Amino acid sequence: MQIWEIQGWIEPLLLGVVAVGGLGGLAALLIALPRARRETQRLLDAQATPTPESTVSIPRGRASAEAHIARGPESAARVAPSPASALPTPAKPTPTPTPDIRSGLRRSRSALWGRLEDLFSRRNTLDASTLSEIEEILFAADLGVKTADDLLEAAKQAGSTDAVHAALEARALEILSGVSTPPEADVSGPKIVLIVGVNGSGKTTSIGKLAARHIAAGKNVLLAAADTFRAAAIDQLGIWAERVNAEIVKGSPGGDPAAVAFDAVKAAQSRDVDVVLIDTAGRLQTQGNLMDELGKIARTVKKLVPDAPHEVLLVLDGNTGQNAIRQAQEFSRQVDVTGIVLSKLDGTAKGGVVLGIAQEVGIPVRFVGVGEGVEDLIDFEPGAFVRALFDRDGHGAPEYA
Ligand SMILES: Nc1nc2c(ncn2[C@@H]2O[C@H](COP(=O)(O)OP(=O)(O)OP(=O)(O)O)[C@@H](O)[C@H]2O)c(=O)[nH]1
Ligand SMILES: [Mg+2]
């Protein structure tokens, strides 16, 4: 029964009292009013109490974090420690089609090997004019000057147009293999991962994808919304947290990102959290103050975990081509970048920049993003990458062990 329905039948009752003007009507009113009041109160109570369905998708830990936000700006990021049993059960992985590097590199492949293949269909001698066209194609592929030169030299050494394909593949693989990926850090408490990069490079999306992976592997994940620069950024991470069933610690817009990171790590230590992924605001490598802020975040989490952050992942937008090399160099000056996530490979012809990053920056590419979906993150594997970049579309590309 709704409130207006009750009000609807009180009115005729009062009219009845006036009309009859008798004691009977008055007695009826005296009986009906307390009942109506009780019913109204019951309905109001029911409206004020959320139904169980309205909170069912939010992990209990997250609900507790949000309750803290409601208390005010200072306590906004603080999450009361709660027993490990309060953590959400990690979501079971649902089988999804595996994204593959070959389709992710479709445009990059046609900009590099596709053009070379086209050239060799017209020319079969490796003379000066052919080499000059090879040079042009290599430079246009946004590999970075050093790498384009290096591959041109490999093409020259190949001796014949037929041998160029194998020579380029072999050299590209050598370049990538020259960068060693450090073994997984041996971490006793929660593993702290800081995610950095310029505006819109794909940080928050990559965090969502990484969180989903860890959760699928049975880990408890906590996201830290240390991008306090834009209110929408906090909400965006909140949506990802809900989507992948991770916990989240949020700060208030305009708050201190280092304080949010601190509180998140503290919360992770007191709960059974395996991985903390810290989202940060996008910043240009030329913005000195904002770059300093990254150093502050890293120093602040060290107060709780001296060897943290265990990983600093720099997210680079594949569309930026050679500019990604510059970004990687600048960010490494500020924080100790341990790995690169190259996002948006699916929409770019500049994926070859991975080679330039390896050769000029020496930081391992750990993951590549090939779409906006939760599963669109691929572990970077040099052999598979080179094979996909130089694939002859099924015409006998050599296999790497
Ligand atoms: N096609 C494609 N789109 C991506 C990929 N990764 C991220 N995006 C999209 O790129 C846009 C920016 O991604 P965000 O994750 O918000 O980037 P961000 O670095 O967190 O941005 P700021 O917080 O504003 O600095 C979004 O529209 C994402 O969906 C990818 O691998 N492929
Ligand atoms: Mg973001």
Return the SS3 of 118. Answer: helix
Whose C-alpha lies nearest to ligand 1, atom 6?
Answer: 202
Say which residue, 11 or 304, is predicted with more confidence. 304
- Is pTM beyond 0.85? Reply is no
Say which residue, 380 or 68, is predicted with more confidence. 380
CA atoms within 13 A on the CB side of 152: 21
**C-alpha 228 chain-centroid distance:** 16
| Ligand 1 atom closest to 229 (CA) | 23
Asked if 366 and 313 count as a contact pair (C-beta separation under 8 A), the reply is yes
Least confident piece of the model among 112-116, 358-362, 373-377, 396-400? 396-400
Sheet of 247-250, strand order: 247-250, 221-226, 275-280, 191-196, 311-317, 339-343, 365-369, 377-379
Strongest mean pLDDT among 71-85, 122-136, 178-192, 379-393: 122-136
Query: Which of 233, 248, 266 is closest to 65 using CA atoms?
Result: 248
Position 20 confidence tier, pLDDT thresholds 50, 70, 90: very low
Q: What letter represents residue 35's amino acid?
A: R
- Mean pLDDT across 60-80: 34
Any atom of ligand 1 within 6 Å of the Cβ of 201: yes
pLDDT value of position 160: 95
pLDDT value of position 172: 97
Expressed in angstroms and rounded, the spacing between residue 322 Cα and the centre of ligand 2 is: 22
pLDDT at 166 over 50: yes
Position 97 confidence tier, pLDDT thresholds 50, 70, 90: low
- Mean pLDDT across 333-338: 91
Residue-wise pLDDT tens digits, 282-299: 988 788 888 889 999 999
CA–CA separation, 389 and 141 (whole Å): 11
Return the SS3 of 373. Answer: coil
Asked if 401 and 382 count as a contact pair (C-beta separation under 8 A), the reply is no
| Ligand 1 atom closest to 236 (CA) | 16
Position 82 confidence tier, pLDDT thresholds 50, 70, 90: very low
Least confident piece of the model among 6-20, 144-158, 251-265? 6-20
Residue-wise pLDDT tens digits, 383-394: 999 999 998 764
Least confident piece of the model among 63-67, 215-219, 221-225, 244-248? 63-67
First to last CA, the chain: 71
Looking up tokens 């996008």, which residue turns up? 282
Asked if 261 and 224 count as a contact pair (C-beta separation under 8 A), the reply is yes
Asked if 156 and 131 count as a contact pair (C-beta separation under 8 A), the reply is yes
pLDDT at 157 over 50: yes
Mutational pocket test of ligand 1: of 315, 343, 374, the residue with most ligand atoms within 8 Å of the beta carbon:
343
Identify each DSSP E strand in 22-102 by its residue range: none
3-state helix, strand, coil in the chain (%, to 5): 55, 10, 35
pLDDT value of position 91: 52
Expressed in angstroms and rounded, the spacing between residue 112 Cα and the centre of ligand 2 is: 31
Any atom of ligand 1 within 6 Å of the Cβ of 347: yes
Say which residue, 80 or 371, is predicted with more confidence. 371
Q: What letter represents residue 70's amino acid?
A: A
Return the SS3 of 107. Answer: helix
pLDDT at 55 over 60: no
- Mean pLDDT across 339-363: 95
Looking up tokens 């990484």, which residue turns up? 210
Expressed in angstroms and rounded, the spacing between residue 195 Cα and the centre of ligand 2 is: 10
pLDDT value of position 181: 81
Any atom of ligand 1 within 6 Å of the Cβ of 208: no
Least confident piece of the model among 20-24, 124-128, 212-216, 226-230? 20-24
